Structure 1
Amino acid sequence: TYGRDAFAILSGASLTTEKTYLMGKFAHMCLRTSNIDYNGRLCMVSAAAANKKAFGIDRAASPWSDIIGAEVVWISGSNAAECSPITSDYIWQAREHGAKIVVVDPRITPIARTADVYLPVKPGRDMLLFNGILNLMIEQDWLDHDFIENYTVGFEALAESVKEWTPARTAQASGIAERAIRQAAELWGTAKTSFLLHARGLEHHSHGVQNVLSAINIVLASGRIGRQNCGYSTITGQGNGQGGREHGQKADQLPGARDLGNPQHRAEVAAIWGMSPDDLPMPGVDAYEIFRKIDRGEIKGLLSISFNPLVSLPDNNFIRAQLEKLEFYTAIDFFLNETAYHADVVLPGSLHEEDEGTVTQVEGRVIKINKAIDCPGDARQDWIIIQDIAAALKREQGFTFHNPEEIFDELRRASAGSIADYSGITYEKLETQMGVFWPCPSEDHAGTVRLFERESWNPVAKGSGPFYFPDGKARFNIPIYTPPAEEPDEAYPLYLTTGRVVSHYLSGTQTRRIGPLVDQYPEPRLE
């Protein structure tokens, strides 16, 4: 009645990679709607976009083992001790091996309290801080000239653009003492090895991509990437935050981190799916824009899975109004969360423990999830539910898998030759090796533990260099600063910056139902 794009799908990064692949295929092949996006839009998408602009690929550059032995570990916008305890363990091990820890955060988090240098940046000014650090690196000649010359482009223009960010001006704009800025710059600039990590505090801004690009600039200027104990990464925020953004459930994406708008990529995936590239929809819009389309009457129906937008998205009164405006809404989830209360149909899905599959963790390592228990009551595995919907629509072609391994095997074929190449990964190999780093282009390939090693080969550069551009070189980017969308004024004189606590996870769909965790942290608070 309304056309294919009148129906939308919202998916999640806490699903297994097999399910995220299936959701993208369900939207693009079965429903042929442009409108699919996922809750990673609220997490790592700014970092993903910046990584693609700078490196041509979106994955951690190095394994976490490279943190141990780094002389300096720089952490921006991450409450790592409470949100990423395993990552914190690597940071503490690095300190035991002599590393200096630099933490950038408006709030004195647990990890900030123990940092060698703590930089209490004014919210929204991270980019200016990195520009000031780079200016000092240039002034003091703390640069890897050989790396810049042979493996990057765009440094001269960037260097000219940061000249104005003197230590005094950077201090005034960022709210950080000039002495601390100089101390951090010297630690970073003179180190022989280093690892830079960041998370949502750097990325969740109206200029989040620019913030991340400015952080990457000081990594590239140092040349400390693509070798042992030298790395850079975003810290992912969900259980499958990496794998969930690789294989087709993003608004503009096809499997293998391919681009939905790229004719060659469309043809490659359509051949695997047995359909014409012309029948694939074009790129859609992000998760929040989907709700704006509901408001405008352009979207009439919605299917959500593993996403609680009424809690996660800004302006929940607006989101609630749009959920009520939908003509039809189906929610698939393992608990009746706040959003699902507004659904016309609720289909009880599965937890990780109730199914098998894979996830790709923060390093880019694909690991196996094994089923531990059956689904309770009428609940079923999510991939079975999606296939049953396809069958009910009489569009079951391509949705007749018998188990998650069959889905994974098709994903392997669909990703072959792409940037995020899983074609050489099998369930057996995952069990034998305790995980495999992608890209892994053949079954006799052990996986790519560390990206950007100097003599490495990739399908984009094809031997020209280690980065994923035709010339093999990384890109310096001039970050364009815009002030925060909202500044304190006389009527609203305070900053409000949000954060997570150790007791709860994401929107709390699971953790707010666990008594001891609720007792420990029963409600949000202001500090």
Structure 2
Amino acid sequence: MTSHWCDFQNADVILHCGSNSAENHPVSAKWLNRAHERGAKWIVVDPRYTRTAELADIYCPIRSGTDIAFYGGLCNYIIEHDLWQHDYVLNYTNASYLLDPDYGFDPATGLYSGFDADSATYSNRSWHYQVESESHWDTAPGGAYAWAAAPGVPAFTPPTVEHPKRDMTLADPLCVWQQFKKHYSRYDLDTVCAICGMDKETLELVYATYAASGAPDKSGTILYALGQTQHTYGAQNTRAMCIVQLLLGNIGMAGGGVNALRGEPNVQGATDMGMMVNEHPAYLKWPNTTDRKSLRDWMESQTYADGYYTNKPKFLVSSLKEWWGEHATADNDYGYDWWPKVHAGGLADTIIPSFEMMEQGKIRGYFNWGMNPANSAPNTANVRQCMSNLDWLVVVDQVATESATFWKAPDMDPASIDTTVFLLPCALIFEKPGLILNSGRWIQYRHQAVEPWDEAKPDYEICDLLWREIRALYEAEGGANPAPVLNAKWDYYVDGKIDPRPVAWALNGYRVDGTDFARAEVDLCSGYGELAADGSTACAMWIYTGFWANSEAPLDPEKQACCRRGHEDPSGLGLYSNWSFSWPSNRRILYNRASADPAGRPWSADKVLVEWTGEAWKTFDQPDFVAAQGGVPVPPNDNAFFMLWEQNARLESYAMEDGPLPEHYEPFESPTDVNPLNGAFSSPCIRFADYPSTKRGTNEEYPIAATTYSVVEHWQTGGQTRMCPALIEAMPTQFIELSPELAAEKGIKAGDKVRVWNNRGSAVVDCVITHRFKPMTVNGKLTHLVGMTHHFGWAGVYATSESMVNDLTPNVGDPNTQVPEYKAFLVDIEKA
């Protein structure tokens, strides 16, 4: 999320693709409506005519799973019509960088250079740049990197700064720009329409309307959600959006950006906190068994040669000090070896293979905290069978979910299941105080409204009770590896009770000397620039540094409330910089240096975020660049993306697992047998497709393309919302939407019960016949699409269903994130 919701009002063009604000993120629609009232053009590209589409100026249907073809065509249109922002692309991206001579892509096979067929993985060596020259860090006293050789800093070899060869004329055939143009020249309007099932005239209108945001004084925003990410190429979908925005100069601009609409009030906070397998809190990486097996290895593999991530050692050591406290010393590498190691690539630890390991008997116990995989995971029939192999299952939730009662599923035999299930009731969000992060990266303190009901406890209190018992066992019995547990710092108490305030201090960061949590004496850091790699600072989340400190009363949440200091807005752009705190460093719009040209002059006089006056930087937002050093203003340069070592954004990227440029591949299950763009058909790097449980279906068996989505009345798997009679009255059941044409073909009438099935499962749902879905012509073949909601299961009181929609979704994953492909799969239907 490069911007925030209030910034949507500044957009000149809005593009929804893979999101539905009006129904799934209704508060965000307030700011979109404001932009619309000011004259912004609003575009919705979606398989279904949604309530957001009803608000928009242009609606263009798209076959689910073909987003990269759509964006690739947009890139080609922008280039062909010379609508790209020349100065922005030349100076702020890697367009001019020369690629390795071995770089290549073969449309006949759909493969980039470096593919290994045996492992279905790429080596990215040939995706790197040619090197013009090299330089080295100055670690001498007084040098820019003197801190790297200071006492207490772990020993590591600083990275070598490689200066890529560039061709500022963009004429060299090996420069990124020429390879980029060549790649997307195949994505012409006719080909995109054939793949996506679109009308050519409508598609061209969409392209022309959105590309108009590439004018230097205009900006366009792209809003996405699970409709983009839940595919076997979801990460590349996101990359494609970023590329479009770079071509048009929309990153860093007010009213621009690539903006993820989160589906829960704290999804952003959960990802920040490291709830993904391979991610340490604050998007650092956990140790592994290869290039991060030791602290020195971590620093040498993860520290960038240039840009702001040269400071990663500071962030990591400060995190280690928070984990291990006084036990983290320079002599023991600050306890780095006490951290567990993830498998290389993290594949074996994610949700889909975890159930395979249950089936194989490798996982005997499972903590199911704040999720409901027996309802929400892909191929849930397989999930339930795998869970029946567990010795024990702990479910922490507000209600008895399908996971807490998995043996009660209609297809399960309770007598054959020996799993012991523990249900720990936890407090609802209204029943506990604490911090949340919204989609815009705004951190806010939420006060407790009522006491938890009955035996329910806040999550952090449950954590503390478990921690105390586990630690007591290690103290009494030793165990195989007691040091990580016995040496862990766990002092988040006030008056002897676990409290969220000391956790907030730890997240903020503090100086170790002079801090005593027990006495509430905390020397808080005011920004991440104060963190050190010598063990003198502790910080659990470097991106949050300063969020709690910047207040007149930093130790009092009643007065602090995460910097709600006022709602003034000197920018006039809805930044509201004194309300809440936006990580990092209270920056509202990421990469805001790119809102001005290389000389520091704003592209738009009406959307000024930063401006060079000739003597210093005038800023309305916290600068996303080095504006001053040692109190001396730093004159403008073209380093607009200082979070990357190149300090230029990447049109081509060597960091992806499945290719340096987004390329269209078909979903795991596709209604077509043709991929006009390449010979690979589906992604060559797809994950978990070889599991027997995936049971891939063909379009001969299952000719109908299906997708899933949510309704505003229900939340996720419905555990809480199906306990509310008023919401059940408003939306009493799950349903399938299908076109009148398909309904006539199948002999189905509105209100009928419809059976939907494939190789993995079968579900009976209510039928809604609607023009919101229309048949499409895909590669010359008439193709039907249907959509289903997924909020119901057998658990609950006021509304239940014996059919699980996610029994139908395939348990395959994206090679970068391992996110499942919920949004495009095959089914057949009949009247039940």
Q: Which TM class, normalised by the smaller chain length?
A: 0.7 to 0.9
Distance in 2 (alpha carbons) for counterparts of 1:473 and 1:350: 45
Q: Pick the aligned partner of 2:350 from 277, 280, 286.
A: 286
> Which among 264, 285, 294 is matched to residue 259 of structure 1?
285
Task: State which of 392, 395, 398 in structure 1 corresponds to 2:489.
Answer: 398
Greater Cα offset, 477-486 or 304-313: 477-486
Residue 438 (str. 1) matches residue 583 (str. 2): yes
1:348 corresponding residue in structure 2: 425
Aligned to 1:170: 192
Distance 2:55 2:357 in 1: 46
Contact in 2 for aligned 1:254/1:269 (Cα 8 Å)? no
Match for residue 668 of structure 2?
485
- Could you tell me which residue of structure 1 aligns to residue 744 of structure 2? none
Q: Measure how far apart 1:398 and its partner are.
A: 2.7
Read off the aligned partner of 2:74 and give its amino acid letter. I
Say which SS state the counterpart of residue 378 (structure 1) adopts: coil
Distance in 2 (alpha carbons) for counterparts of 1:491 and 1:406: 58
- Aligned residue for 1:491, secondary structure, equals coil
Q: Distance in 1 between matches of 2:664 and 2:212?
A: 27
Alpha carbons 1:131, 1:165 under 8 Å: kept: yes
- Deviates further, 418-427 or 205-214: 418-427
SS in 1 for 2:443: strand
The separation in 2 between residues aligned to 1:69 and 1:386, in whole angstroms, is 42
Pick one of 590, 595, 608 that aligns with 1:451.
590
**Greater than 6 Å deviation, 4+ residue runs:** none
Inter-partner Cα distance in structure 1 for 2:490 and 2:367: 17
Task: Answer whether contact 2:507 2:542 (CA < 8 A) is retained.
Answer: no
Q: CA deviation at 1:268?
A: 4.2
Task: Measure how far apart 1:228 and its partner are.
Answer: 2.0
User: 1:205 Cα shift?
Assistant: 1.0
Question: How far apart in 2 are the matches of 1:334 and 1:486?
Answer: 36
Secondary structure in 1 matching 2:587: coil
How many correspondences in the alignment? 460
Q: Any residues of structure 2 matched to 1:327-346 within 5 Å, and which?
A: 327-342=391-406, 344-346=421-423
**Which residue number corresponds to residue 4 of structure 2?**
63
Aligned with 1:367: secondary structure?
Answer: strand
2:235 counterpart (209, 212, 222): 209
Which amino acid in 1 is paired with 2:545? S
In 1, the alpha carbon distance for the partners of 2:36 and 2:624 equals 33
Going from structure 1 to structure 2, the CA distance change for 1:268 and 1:293 (only over 3 Å counts) comes to farther
Aligned to 1:424: 546
Name the SS of the counterpart of 1:230 in structure 2: coil
**2:273 corresponds to which of 222, 247, 252:** 247
Look up the SS of the partner of 2:435 in the other structure. strand
Question: Contact (CA 8 Å) 1:67, 1:231: kept in 2 or not?
Answer: no
Cross-structure match for 2:755:
none
Q: Secondary structure in 1 aligned to 2:736?
A: coil
Percent of paired sites with the same residue = 25
1-structure distance, mates of 2:223, 2:454: 42
Deviations 1:269-298 (A, max 9, x none): 222211510111122521222212212222
Find the aligned partners of 1:329 and 1:468 in 2 and give their Cα distance. 41
Whole-Å separation in 2 of the counterparts to 1:439 and 1:177: 42
The equivalent position to 1:301 in structure 2, one of 361, 365, 383, is 365
Which sits farther off after the overlay, 226-235 or 415-424?
415-424
SS in 1 for 2:424: strand
Matched, 1:272 2:304: no
**TM-score, length of structure 2 as denominator length:** 0.53
CA deviations on 1:479-519 (whole Å, 9 max, x unpaired) are 03221110232321111111111110111110011001111
Query: Residue 277 of structure 1 aligns to which amino acid in structure 2?
Result: Y
Task: Specify every segment of 5 or more residues in structure 1 that has no aligned partner in the other structure, as ranges.
Answer: 1-59, 441-446
What is the alpha-carbon distance in structure 2 between the residues aligned to residue 389 and residue 337 of structure 1?
22
Q: Which has the higher contact order (CA 8 A, sep 6+)?
A: 1
Task: Determine the structure 2 residue equivalent to 1:117.
Answer: 58
Q: TM-score under structure 1 normalisation?
A: 0.83
Shift of 1:434: 3.4
Amino acid at match of 2:667: P
What does 1:153-164 align with in structure 2 at a 5 Å threshold?
153=94, 154-164=176-186
Which residue identity is paired with 2:506? E
Give the C-alpha shift of residue 393 in structure 1. Answer: 1.2
Q: Mark the structure with the bigger radius of gyration.
A: 2
Q: Is the 8 A contact 1:246 1:420 kept in 2?
A: no
1:169 Cα deviation from its structure 2 partner: 1.3
Query: 2:650 matched to 1:475?
Result: yes
Report matched runs for 1:16-415 at 5 Å.
Answer: 60-153=1-94, 154-191=176-213, 192-261=218-287, 262=292, 263-264=298-299, 267-274=317-324, 275=328, 276-283=335-342, 284=346, 285-342=349-406, 344-394=421-471, 395=485, 397-402=488-493, 403-413=499-509
Give the conservation status (yes or no) of the 8 Å contact 2:435–2:443.
yes
What is the one-letter code of the residue matched to 1:475?
A: R
